[in-house]
Amino acid sequence: MTRKLLPVSICIFALMNCLINSAFPAQDKDQTTDTTDLRNSFREEILMESFDAETEDPDILEDLETFRRNPLDLNKVTFDELTLIPFLNSMTARNILIYRSEIKKYKSKRELLKVKGMSAELYEKIKIYLIVRKSTSDVIIDETGMIYKSSQLNIFDKITTRVRSRFMQDLQTKQGYLTEKYEGTKPKLYTSLKLKYGKADPVFEINLTMEKDPGEKNLNDFTSGYIAADNIFGFRKIIAGDYSLNFGQGLTLSGSGYFSKGIDAVSPLKRKGKGIKGYTSVGESQFFRGAALSYGQGNFVADLFYSDNYFDASIDENSEKVNSFYSDGYHRTSSEINRKKSVKEKFFGGRVSYSKGFLRSGITYWSGKFSKPVSKDTMRELYDFSGDKASSLGADYDILVKNMNFFGEWTHSSSGAVASVNSVSFTFPGTAELIFSYRNYPYNFVSVHSSGFGERSGETKNERGFYAGLTLKPFKGLTLNVYFDQYKFPYRSFLNPLPVSGNDFLFNADWRAEKGFVINLKIKNEIKGDITTVKDSVQRDVKLTDNRHQFNARLGFIYQLSDALRFRSRFEFVNVRYRESGIGSKGTIFFSDMRLNPFPGLVFDMRIIFFDTEDYDSRIYEYENDIKGVMSNTALYGKGKRWYAVLRYKPFRLFEISAKYSETYTDGVKFTGSGNDRIDGDINNRLNVGVEILF
């Protein structure tokens, strides 16, 4: 059925194009000005699809929103700030500054098209993060279609306050509530207050976040906050409270907030170290709690940080040692409540970095001590961290020479192991980008606070790999991305009793066939060593090492019929096979969605999805629009359909309310989920409501 829907949908959309163009006529834009339309956010959505997980509030989502809400002024932006922008490489960032020095100042963002290496496709991707603040001609259209000039942003620059609140609830009752194992109520609640004061130096910032997960008793089960000041008393930054640390390529010290392998074959490889940053997410184990400061003198910057933070963990009653840590942040049942904040880590460290021109380097050190020792369970991982102390010392570098960018990091951990990642990228302006990267993370590397690039995101150990990626623009409108990643896990683990290896290949083509019409083709093939369970001759479960082969093929299109109406459709096929056992599964997914902006201040999104996969192993992820600040990357499996609708209404510039309703029907099942999360019946639906106030 899904295969028949695709050509039918294309015909319907083509017919509607003729009808709707008369209702929404295209307007010729003055070529000396720029209109930045934030409603066309599908490029960011493609980036977020690199998260193959159902995380609702990743730190990277807040970073992208901060860029959109506080775009960088082209006439003041620094090289380091430009390199934080997604899609933008170091060479093009350098050329933006060189061109600025030649013309003295930008009068419009559109002048970026004259920068060496700036293609029309790249310009469309990055312009939402940039602004010429004093421009009287550039126009911005926000996510709900409200229009204002760039110069109007000056009105609210001195003091900005954001209040955000969310209510999210599964409407079906899970087993945990029926059995009263979940001690709290069903809603997921979130409230955040963020205040920023100052237009010139210094700048002060205050943030307070409170969250309650479904099933938790306390409305403020998780509370986070910080007070920060930039450029005060000679310090670049001072922060007290909750913060994150991201330096170099993530081997020595890094949290979350990075893209992994995806359809952009080059950009995600380079970690864009954000340094010391206030923590605004609701992940309950990916931050530090204490104080940090940054001081700069000439070409040198010194950072110091201290943390005294708790973690959730299970404690052995006899030995008083930590058996395992938990990062989900759930405190719903008595056992989950008992492990809440059961271990404390005292953490301190520092960093010295040097930058001159387009050379950057740094040395980072940290040391941590846990209040209870971590046990050594030889039945799980022979090289898991154990004891109560850990430390790391690392050096990173980032050098830009002509069209080449060399970057990498070497880190020595307290176990004596040295991990490293070294990369080189080549930029051929307007034509291609090429990158090569080699990583070596020893089996005994202590990766307590590491998050380097790799096949297993966040597990910077027991992995070697070589990655090659290419972005090619053979002609205007066509962008090709190709990567190949060969990797090996050279030491046995709990899940794999023998060393295993694998490789990952991706080809992605985006073709802007005409204005407003984009076609996407993606092919991904991965072979990875894995463990399968089969039946022996007497029907006993037997585990064996096997090669898991997964093939995905996707075809989709985006059709921007007018500034007010967009359609999108996608078809994806997956086939999973295990070479030795012969078992496997396959599946398909098809969706079509529509975005309508009938008048400024109101946006309506709707999508319907049909899925048919044989089991969870052949699940397919689809990134969805949601209320402000929430990421939804849903894994669908089984056979059924899902639909959702999102409404965003902004009656005036400083107030916005959004809501999402979603339903998933799974054919032929008596229940979905398992354990305390089991829901009887074949339907699972959810309501999300969010409110945001700016003043």
The predicted pLDDT at position 259 comes to 66
Integer Cα distance of 210 and 197 in angstroms: 22
| Residue 164 clears pLDDT 70, i.e. is over it | yes
Inside any domain, residue 267: no
Integer Cα distance of 116 and 98 in angstroms: 10
Residues constituting the chain: 695
Inside any domain, residue 559: no
Inside any domain, residue 135: yes
Whether the Cβ atoms of residue 265 and residue 471 lie closer than 8 Å to each other = yes
Domain count, the chain: 1
Whether the Cβ atoms of residue 294 and residue 275 lie closer than 8 Å to each other = yes
Q: Where are the beta strands (DSSP E) in 625-673?
A: 632-636, 639-652, 655-666, 671-672
pLDDT tens digit sequence for 616-638: 999 999 988 889 888 888 899 99
> What are the tokens at 491?
């030491």
Largest CA distance in the chain: 80
Question: DSSP of 406-475, one letter per residue?
Answer: EEEEEEEETTS-EEEEEEEEEEETTTEEEEEEEEEE-TT---TT---SSSSTT--SSEEEEEEEEEE--S
pLDDT tens digit sequence for 98-111: 999 999 889 888 89
Write the burial class of residue 546 (CB in 10 Å: 0-12 exposed, 13-18 middle, 19+ buried). buried
Whether the Cβ atoms of residue 546 and residue 529 lie closer than 8 Å to each other = yes
Q: Where are the beta strands (DSSP E) in 85-158?
A: 130-131, 139-141, 147-149
Residues 6+ apart with CB under 8 A from 267: 86, 87, 89, 259
Q: Give whole-number Cα distances, 436 to 388, 431, 468, in Å.
A: 37, 17, 5
pLDDT tens digit sequence for 258-270: 667 888 899 888 9
Q: Which domain holds residue 130?
A: 31-154
* Cis-peptide into 651, omega within 30 deg: no
Q: Is 318 in a helix, a strand, or coil?
A: coil
Q: Give whole-number Cα distances, 555 to 266, 572, 630, 665, in Å.
A: 22, 6, 26, 24
Integer Cα distance of 386 and 647 in angstroms: 49
pLDDT tens digit sequence for 11-60: 444 444 443 343 333 333 444 577 777 766 666 666 666 655 545 555 67
Whether the Cβ atoms of residue 655 and residue 693 lie closer than 8 Å to each other = yes
pLDDT bin (cut points 50, 70, 90) of residue 475 is confident
Please tell me the least confidently modeled range out of 297-301, 456-460, 499-503: 456-460
| Closest alpha carbon to 49 in 659, 656, 631, 691 | 631
Query: How many CA atoms within 13 Å lie on the side-chain side of 239?
Result: 28
Integer Cα distance of 188 and 413 in angstroms: 39
Q: What angle do CA 59, 63, 66 make, to 5 degrees?
A: 140
The predicted pLDDT at position 495 comes to 67
pLDDT bin (cut points 50, 70, 90) of residue 422 is very high
| Closest alpha carbon to 445 in 460, 456, 465 | 460
The predicted pLDDT at position 20 comes to 39
| Closest alpha carbon to 454 in 621, 249, 245 | 249
Please tell me the least confidently modeled range out of 383-387, 502-506, 544-548, 581-585: 383-387
Output the domain CATH number for residue 57: 1.10.150.320
As beta bridge partners, residue 410 has 395, 420
Inside any domain, residue 139: yes
**DSSP-derived secondary structure letter, 31:** T
Q: How many other C-beta atoms lie within 10 A of the C-beta of residue 252?
A: 31
> What are the tokens at 649?
């209404």
Rg (CA), the chain: 25
Which is higher by pLDDT, 70 or 534?
Answer: 70
The predicted pLDDT at position 49 comes to 66
Integer Cα distance of 677 and 216 in angstroms: 14
Integer Cα distance of 676 and 178 in angstroms: 9
Residues 6+ apart with CB under 8 A from 510: 478, 479, 518, 519, 520
| Residue 421 clears pLDDT 50, i.e. is over it | yes
pLDDT bin (cut points 50, 70, 90) of residue 430 is confident
Inside any domain, residue 331: no
pTM for the complete prediction? 0.88
Is residue 339 within a helix (H) or strand (E), and if so which, with residue range?
none
Inside any domain, residue 14: no
